Amino acid sequence: MIQVEGLTKRYARNVAVDHVSFSVEKGQIVGFLGPNGAGKTTTMRMLTCYMPPSEGTAKVAGFDVIDKPLEVKKRIGYLPENPPLYPDMEVGEYLRFVARLKGIPEKEVPGRGEEAARRCSVKDVWSKLIGKLSKGYRQRVGLAQAILHNPDVLILDEPTSGFDPKQILETRDLIRGLGGDHTIVLSTHILQEVKAMCESLIIINKGKIATSGRLDELTRSNGAVLELSAPQGATAEQITSALSAVAGVEKAGAVDDGGLWRVDISTAPGAEIRPQLAQAILAQGWNLYRLDSASLSLDEMFLRLTSAAEEVQ
C-alpha cells in the first residue's frame, strides 16, 4: 500500500530525511517512531504531498507522490500535528465544508460528517465554534476530517496530543478499529501509543531508519541468557572471549554463580543466534544447562538504537 525508496529531504546543508526506505502492507497499523527532530513529520509531509522530496520515490496505493499527487491525496486521510482547523467555524459546518473539498457527493455530505463526528466523539460539540474547543476536542475534530472520505491510508501525526486519559483510550480503540479496512501510519514519539495500537514498527533517528519490522519480532530477542559449566580454573575472560567470537554477538558478560557460569549475551534487536552459541559451547567441551532468549522492551530498544546513533555522530 505504501512503498518508499531512498526518500530524502534536504534544506540547504541540512539533511532532514536521509535515503529512507520502507514498505507498509494493506491493513497494517504501523508505528513511525523517533525522538523529536528525527525526521518523522518531514517524512509524513512528503508522503501526503505537502512537500516534494529532494530525492527518492514514494508510492501510495500505487500512485507516485510526485507524478500523481492528486490521486495520492484522494486516497489519504491526514491528521497533522497541528490540525488544519478554522476557529471561526462550527464543528458541523467545518466537517461539511471539508467533505465538499474532498469531493464527497453533496447528498452524502451530511451523513458523512455526522458519522465521522460520532466515531471521533465530537457529536456533542457539533454546533460549537472550533475556536472555543479544548485542544483535545480540536484534535478529535482533526481526526474526524481525516476519515471523512473513507480513505485507503490514514497518516496520523501525534493523534492523541492534548488528550486526557479517557480520550486517549477512546482514540486508541478507534484507531485499532480502523485497522484492517485502512492502512494506518501512526507517527509519534510516545512509546506507549505504539505498544497499544501498532503491529509493526519503524524507528527513525537523525533522518535515517534505525530498524523496522513486526513489533513482536523486534522485541522478542536481543540476545540470550545461558548457564554452563567449564573446567575448573576457567576465567570469565576465557568464557566471554570464546562466546564473543560467535558472529552476531555484540557483548558478553560472565559471572560465576556457585559452580555454574551465567552468561548474558547482547545482539542486535531481533537477531537469533542461540544455535550458534550452543555449537560454540559444545566445541569448547563445556556443558550447557540453560539457553534462553533475552527479551527486549520497546523502551530499551528505542533508547539503545537512538543512543547508539548519537554516539556515532
Q: Can you spell out the DSSP letters for 168-237?
A: HHHHHHHHHHHBTTBEEEEEES-HHHHHHH-SEEEEEETTEEEEEEEHHHHHH-SEEEEEEE--TT--HH
Asked if 207 contacts 18 with a C-beta cutoff of 8 angstroms, the reply is yes
Q: Are residues 27 and 96 in the same domain?
A: yes
Q: Are residues 169 and 116 in the same domain?
A: yes
DSSP state of 295: P
59-63, 84-88, 187-191, 197-201: which range is least confident on average? 187-191
Q: Are residues 103 and 208 in the same domain?
A: yes
Q: Are residues 200 and 74 in the same domain?
A: yes
Taking alpha carbons only, the member of 197, 195, 208 closest to residue 305 is 208
Could you tell me what percentage of the chain is helix, strand and coil, using 3-state DSSP and rounding each to the nearest 5? 40, 30, 30
259 backbone dihedrals φ, ψ, rounded to 5°: 105, -25
Q: Are residues 121 and 256 in the same domain?
A: no
Q: Are residues 183 and 251 in the same domain?
A: no
Classify residue 309: in a domain, yes or no: no
Q: Which is more confident, 161 or 66?
A: 66
Angstrom distance (rounded) from CA 120 to CA 138? 11
Classify residue 303: in a domain, yes or no: no
Classify residue 7: in a domain, yes or no: yes
Q: Are residues 51 and 184 in the same domain?
A: yes
Burial of 218 (0-12, 13-18, 19+ CB in 10 A): buried
Angstrom distance (rounded) from CA 121 to CA 115? 10
Helix H or strand E segment including 289: strand 287-293
Q: Are residues 103 and 200 in the same domain?
A: yes
How many domains does the chain fold into? 2
When pLDDT is cut at 50, 70 and 90, the band that residue 281 belongs to is very high
Asked if 103 contacts 75 with a C-beta cutoff of 8 angstroms, the reply is no
Answer with the one of 181, 201, 218 that is the final residue of a domain: 218
* pLDDT single digits (tens) 197-242: 998 999 999 999 998 988 877 776 667 888 999 888 889 999 999 9
CATH label of the domain that carries residue 189: 3.40.50.300
Name the β-bridge partners of 252: 265
* pLDDT single digits (tens) 162-180: 778 888 888 888 888 888 7
DSSP state of 90: B
Taking alpha carbons only, the member of 230, 204, 147, 198 closest to residue 27 is 198
Classify residue 169: in a domain, yes or no: yes
Q: What is the mean pLDDT of residues 99-103?
A: 93
Domain that holds residue 285: 222-294
Specify the pTM: 0.75
Burial of 35 (0-12, 13-18, 19+ CB in 10 A): middle
Q: Are residues 73 and 200 in the same domain?
A: yes
Classify residue 299: in a domain, yes or no: no
Q: Are residues 230 and 176 in the same domain?
A: no
Classify residue 69: in a domain, yes or no: yes
Q: What is the reported pLDDT for 81?
A: 81
Q: Are residues 25 and 130 in the same domain?
A: yes
* Most distant pair of Cα atoms in the chain: their distance: 85
pLDDT at 262 over 80: yes
Classify residue 185: in a domain, yes or no: yes
Taking alpha carbons only, the member of 47, 5, 2, 1 closest to residue 209 is 5
Q: Are residues 184 and 123 in the same domain?
A: yes
pLDDT at 31 over 80: yes
CATH label of the domain that carries residue 227: 3.30.70.100
Classify residue 245: in a domain, yes or no: yes
Give Cα separations from 125 to 41, 77, 111 (angstroms).
Answer: 29, 22, 16
Angstrom distance (rounded) from CA 21 to CA 7? 6
